[in-house]
Chain A
Amino acid sequence: MFKLIIKRVLKDKLAIAGLTFIFIVFFIAIFANNIAPYDPYKINVYKVLEPPSKEHILGTDELGRDVLSRIIYGARVSLKVGFIAMGIAILTGTVLGLIAGYYGGFIDTIIMRFVDVMLAFPTLFLILAVVAVLEPSIYIIMIVIGLTGWMDIARLVRAEVLSLKEREFVLAARAIGASSGRIIFKHILPNAIYPVIVAATFSVGGAILIESGLSFLGLGIQPPEPSWGGILSIGKDYITVAWWMSLFPGIAIFLTVLSFNLLGEALRDALDPKQWAED
């Protein structure tokens, strides 16, 4: 099954493009110290707000720092936040969805009401409230984005579990006396995992978008740490004189998020049984 899925994903040209770009961003993030032409924190008062040139390919910011170097280092923040927030959301959503779907009854009601309550809040409001109350830091941001993004996954997993637990192989496992834990982890989870993988791919992109929005509002990654949203935030103040600060970090965010979305879409198609028939 797994090999087949990879084969199907690799048939999709857009997915390959997305995957390649994700690898590039990873590479840039890991080797940022070697790739970046300048120190991203280095202030140079003689080179303030310089337009793109041979020396500074993407120009310099309001403190004379090299924008390209700051974008390169910013990739670290985006990937860290994207993946860890996704991990938290997937873990929370899967666990709660499994419990709700498997045990049903009162526990199910409580968990699903909780999902309804969380969904009633405009996500950005809830995130901003928490970040405002606690000091904004990269860890708080990861956790908060994760803890406000698990509801759809819980619903998804619950629905999968509800249909799986009535299937014959699960009933058979129960008939031979398998424990609940064994049924959940050996029989239900492996069969419910594929839609979760698709949701996980999309949620990395979503988390990166939210983080950049928070940093743009000044309640995300705090300066001088470079982040894509943070550069845009300063760019807004120099919108009339330094367009390069507003243009390039946005392209980085857009392409990264787009890559995760393209990959997610390809995975979804690859896992859609309706399309299996066409092969």
Chain B
Amino acid sequence: MIPILFGITLICFFVINLAPGSPTSFTEELSPKASPEAMEALKKLYGLDKPIHERYLNWLRMVVTLDLGKSFVDGRAVKEKIKERLPITVTLNLISLLLILIVSIPIGVYSALKPGSIFDRVLTVFVFTGFSIPTFWIALLAMIVFGVNLGWLPISGIQSIGAETMPLHERLLDWIKHLILPVTIMSFAGLAGMSRYTRSSMLEVLRQDFIRTTRAKGLPEKVVIIRHALRNALLPVVTLLGLAIPGLIGGSVIFESIFSIPGMGQLFYASAMARDYPTIMGILIIGALLTLIGNLLADIAYFIVDPRIRVKRDV
């Protein structure tokens, strides 16, 4: 874990130092109107008079104390900017992760039980579509159909204007209406991957001897599938969940900028367009940290659901 964290900071630092010339001259050139304070903050941030390894160590010292510097754009602390954006992105990702799980596991299991059936073939088509279709394009089409033509759903933001004054249940409804499109489309690619994975994992388990044994014992099919097969088939799915996190977080850049959702992805996009280096670096690090936390949670979940790991440890 520690070496990986160290590597993450190295890469972040390396990426930002790819910039031709010194970061300050670059900013001066791009925005001659940059305030003297911002330039000062910038020079202080990078300590440009010092050699590169010293600069890295200085920067690392700041990052370790969770000081991510100040934004070039508005001079606010990057930590604060990220803090107010992070909850929205994490909430959206958690909702879509939940949606992916709830929908894809039954689909995967069902088609594994009837390989070659029409349902199974439809799933295969869906999986290929999910892997090949640009998600931002579906988002556009969905906006045209449901937002513009049918006018059923709002196409931007997470609440209507004046939502603060609505009573609680109306506000909640308003919020849900705004989230339907982004969350559904965010889940689309994940749904394809996860249901395919559940299917193949389930097929693998169903082939094994102990399933034949449970059937031979005369257990009802429901018990065989749910208690014996599914529990084993879901083990690898847990790992895949952890691996899906960087994709989801990365995708938030696209979705949040399409649907104008004020989350971390939109902030990252705006910072990238404005070349706001401290914010870019801050979000890169936070994004990588979120991935690591996700992987850690997946490992812990694996530890809980798979008794074999615990046994190995005791030996």
Question: Judging by beta carbons under 8 Å apart, are A209 and B253 in contact?
Answer: no
Contact A133 B134 (CB under 8 A): no
A222 touches B (CB below 8 Å): no
Residue of A nearest to B9 (CB): A117
Say yes or no: B291 contacts A219, CB within 8 Å.
Answer: no
Residues of chain B within 8 A (CB-CB) of A216 are 134, 136, 254
Q: Interface with A: B11-19, B35-43, B212-220, B306-314, which one?
A: B11-19
A121 near B284 with CB under 8 A, answer yes
B279 to chain A, nearest CB (A): 10
Q: A262 contacts B128, CB within 8 Å?
A: yes
B256-292 interface code vs A (CB 8 A; 1 in, 0 out): 0110000000001101110101001101100110011
**Distance (whole angstroms) from the CB of B89 to the closest CB of chain A:** 11
Partner of B141, one of A131, A209, A247, A257: A247
Is B131 engaged at the interface, CB distance under 8 Å to the other chain?
Answer: yes
Q: Which residues of B contact A11 (CB under 8 A)?
A: none
Q: Which residues of B contact A117 (CB under 8 A)?
A: 4, 7-8, 10-11
Would you call B18 and A239 a contact (CB within 8 A)? no
**B-side contacts of A131, CB under 8 Å:** 272
Cα distance A126–B16 in the bound complex, in angstroms? 11
**Which residues of A (212-260) have their CB < 8 Å from a CB of B?**
212-213, 216-219, 229, 232, 235-236, 239-240, 243, 246-247, 250, 253-254, 257-258
Is A132 at the interface (CB under 8 A from chain B)? yes
**Residues of the A chain whose Cβ atoms lie less than 8 Å from the Cβ of B254:** 124, 213, 216-217
Cβ of B10: which chain A residues have Cβ within 8 Å of it?
117
Residue from A121, A130, A216, A218 with most neighbouring chain B CB atoms (10 Å): A121
A122-B291, A133-B275 as given contacts; A239 in contact with B143, CB under 8 Å: yes
Residue in chain B with minimal CB distance to A249: B137
A113 at the binding interface (Cβ < 8 Å): yes
Contacts of B75 in A (CB 8 A): none
Q: How many of A's residues come within 8 Å of B, CB to CB?
A: 45
Q: How far is the CA of A262 from the CA of B7 in the complex (A)?
A: 36
B130-147 interface (Cβ within 8 A of A): 131-134, 136-137, 140-141, 143-144
* Contact with B132, one of A113, A129, A257 (Cβ below 8 angstroms): A257
Asked if B134 and A239 sit within 8 Å, CB to CB, the answer is: no
A209 pairs with B134, CB closer than 8 A:
yes
Residue B47 at the A interface, CB < 8 A? no
CB-nearest residue of chain B to A208? B134
In contact, B132 and A246 (Cβ under 8 angstroms): no
How long is the Cα–Cα vector from A219 to B10 in the complex, in angstroms? 24
Residue A39 CB within 8 A of the other chain: no
**B140 is contacted by which of A116, A122, A250, A261 (Cβ under 8 Å)?**
A250
Instruction: Knowing A121-B287, A125-B287 are in contact, say whether A250-B247 is a contact too (CB < 8 A).
Output: no
From 101 to 156 in chain B, residues with beta carbon under 8 angstroms from any chain A beta carbon are: 128-129, 131-134, 136-137, 140-141, 143-144, 148
Q: A254-B137, A257-B132, A262-B128 are in contact. Are A236 and B273 (CB under 8 A)?
A: no
Q: Determine if A122 and B247 form an interchain contact, defined as CB atoms under 8 angstroms apart.
A: yes
Task: Indicate if the CB atoms of A240 and B148 lie closer than 8 Å.
Answer: yes
Query: Is A122 a contact of B246 with CB atoms below 8 Å?
Result: yes
- Whether, in the assembled complex, A91 has its beta carbon less than 8 Å from a beta carbon of chain B, the answer is no
Q: How far is the CA of A236 from the CA of B143 in the complex (A)?
A: 10
B140 and A239 contacting across the interface, CB-CB below 8 Å: yes
| Contact status B4-A113, CB under 8 Å | yes
The verdict on A178 contacting chain B, using a C-beta distance below 8 Å, is: no
- Say yes or no: B134 contacts A253, CB within 8 Å: yes
Shortest C-beta distance, A62 to chain B (Å), equals 16
Contact B134–A120 (Cβ < 8 Å): no
B249→A125 contact, CB < 8 A: yes
Pick from B131, B247, B268, B269: contact of A261, CB below 8 A. Answer: B131
Given A114-B7, A124-B254, 16 new contacts (CB under 8 A): A117-B11, A120-B288, A121-B8, A121-B287, A126-B11, A128-B268, A129-B16, A133-B15, A134-B19, A205-B131, A205-B132, A232-B136, A239-B143, A246-B144, A257-B134, A261-B132
Chain B interface residues toward A at CB < 8 A:
3-4, 7-8, 10-11, 15-16, 18-20, 128-129, 131-134, 136-137, 140-141, 143-144, 148, 246-247, 249-251, 253-254, 257-258, 268-269, 271-273, 275, 277, 280-281, 283-284, 287-288, 291-292, 295
Q: What 5 pairs between A and B have smallest CB-CB spacing?
A: A122-B250, A117-B7, A124-B250, A250-B137, A132-B272
